Structure 1
Amino acid sequence: MTLSPDIITVGVPDVAAARAFYASAFATTADNDRDTALDLHGSGRLALQQIDELAAACGAEPATSGFRGCVLSSIVQRPAEVRALLAAATAGGATVVKPARKEFFGEFAAVHRAPDGALWKLAAASKKDTGPVPAVPRPIETAVFLGVARPKASKVFYEALGMAADHDYGDKFVDFAVSAGACRLGLLPRRALAGDAGVDGQGEGFSALALTHTAGSREEVDTLLAEADSAGGRVTAPAVPTDGGGYVGRFTDPDGHHWRVTARV
């Protein structure tokens, strides 16, 4: 039993518009015309849901203001691909928060705010444009970074749910090993996360974000919910069967970030 962020769900004001933006920005498509989940080239999936519906499912009020306490990230191979992704995003209506450039510690990155309000950091795995640059940049990894009170304490919580730390810098930064086809999860102090994204750290209300783990069985769903509860999280919706043949429950981590755990019955 290992928790993994298989799907990132973003609450948006207009699902059709958001779907068109992300499909264009990441040069990807949904599985079918009715599916709003986009395959991020094997580095996880991005789902889109009306923000008030997502808030209701999470047991939260939909109102939000300022920094939401989370940053999404797309990691590509080269700096030129960061520039290309940023250009595609801005052409689709995104706003540049930090232009593409080499950061203080040598990272080449950019940050934009999508039309739905989500912050995206685009980063290059290498510092130089070595080798040919693909016409359509594809992320080698997708990450979600959560702002927390203390990364060390949050690390203990996620380890109780089976996750293994990959990089551990104490209360500065922690991230976890990536499962195949899933997204990376990272933890930073909320103010530091906002600073890295280039925005003011003040904000309150719903994060407009939920992470989904797809479990292998109904029993695994129940186990993960029980572990989350005993480790300091809160079960916000006990697991129940759904009309579509699924089995779904929800919890929040100690900092209030929302998770959905699901399995086919």
Structure 2
Amino acid sequence: MTSIEHVTVEVTDPAIAERFYAALGLGTRVCVRASDAPTTGFRGFTLSLVVSQPSTVTGLVDTALDAGATTLKPAEKSLWGFGGVIRSPDGTIVTIASSSKKDTGPATTQIDDVVLQLGVAHVAASKRFYVDHGLAATKSYGRRFVEFGGSGPISMALLKRRALAKAAGVSADGTGSHRIVVGSDAGPFTDPDGFVWQSPSR
């Protein structure tokens, strides 16, 4: 089964970015490399860290802020659970969330799932593209949302670009490089929205 082994974020200062992702425990799933590719505004994707309970959300948000992140949405209860959104020092938007609204055990730092969320122009067309490239769609809600499963450490979801930006608390406007490369045995290719996929070698 096609899997996503890691994502590589292109950054202006690799040392700062490496410290940030290591602080969150993402060192093997998120790689960094230097780039000065021009980009402005929303880069069209977010990383979502799925955890078991609110105290884990709060702890990871605090860790992210201590490592140089800024708050886009404070961690709080919502209709869907408990979560917050931060922007990393390199500009990547990271959501940290739990479907639970109440703690059921001691606080931990365990991340249960890392989801790469791509904001796309046409969800149905992008779904067909990715299915044709070997990814398995496990959930699909028409033209609004698609989730892909796999055996790797990162899963993926597709949303309309504007909907993803709204969920992150930012404007959908943005141009230039996405500044992310997906490491997967599905690659190499560039998808219809300009996201680059390569073989999972680092």
TM-score range, shorter chain: over 0.9
1:27, 1:173 → 2: CA distance?
A: 27
Between stretches 2-11 and 203-212, larger displacement belongs to 2-11
1:148, 1:4 → 2: CA distance?
A: 20
Larger radius of gyration: 1
How big is the shift at 1:128?
1.4
Gaps of 5+ in 1: 29-37, 40-44, 53-61, 216-223, 226-249
Contact 2:5/2:200 (<8 A) preserved: no
Aligned match for 1:152, one of 103, 109, 124? 124
How big is the shift at 1:149?
1.0
Which TM-score applies when normalising by structure 1?
0.72
More strand by share: 2
Contact 2:85/2:96 (<8 A) preserved: yes
User: What is residue 19 of structure 2 aligned with on the other side?
Assistant: 20
Amino acid at match of 1:183: I
Q: SS at the partner of 1:6?
A: strand
The change in CA–CA distance for 1:184 and 1:27 in structure 2 (over 3 A counts) is closer
Deviations along 1:201-231, one digit per CA (max 9) or x if unpaired, are 1001001101011x4xxxxxxxx56xxxxxx
Q: SS at the partner of 1:110?
A: strand
Aligned-pair identity in percent equals 41
Higher relative contact order (CA 8 A, sep 6+): 2
User: What is residue 47 of structure 1 aligned with on the other side?
Assistant: 31
Which TM-score applies when normalising by structure 2?
0.94
User: What is residue 5 of structure 1 aligned with on the other side?
Assistant: 4
How big is the shift at 1:262?
4.8
2:127, 2:163 → 1: CA distance?
A: 17
Contact 2:135/2:150 (<8 A) preserved: no
Deviations along 1:109-131, one digit per CA (max 9) or x if unpaired, are 10000000000000114221012
Aligned-pair Cα RMSD in Å? 1.7
User: What is residue 44 of structure 2 aligned with on the other side?
Assistant: 69
How big is the shift at 1:27?
4.0
Is 1:252 aligned with 2:190? yes
Contact 2:117/2:157 (<8 A) preserved: yes
Q: SS at the partner of 1:87?
A: helix
Contact 2:137/2:149 (<8 A) preserved: yes
Number of residue pairs the alignment of both structures matches: 202
2:85, 2:125 → 1: CA distance?
A: 28
Aligned match for 1:115, one of 58, 81, 89? 89
Gaps of 5+ in 2: none
1:117, 1:153 → 2: CA distance?
A: 28
User: What is residue 140 of structure 1 aligned with on the other side?
Assistant: 112
Amino acid at match of 1:143: V
Q: SS at the partner of 2:181?
A: strand
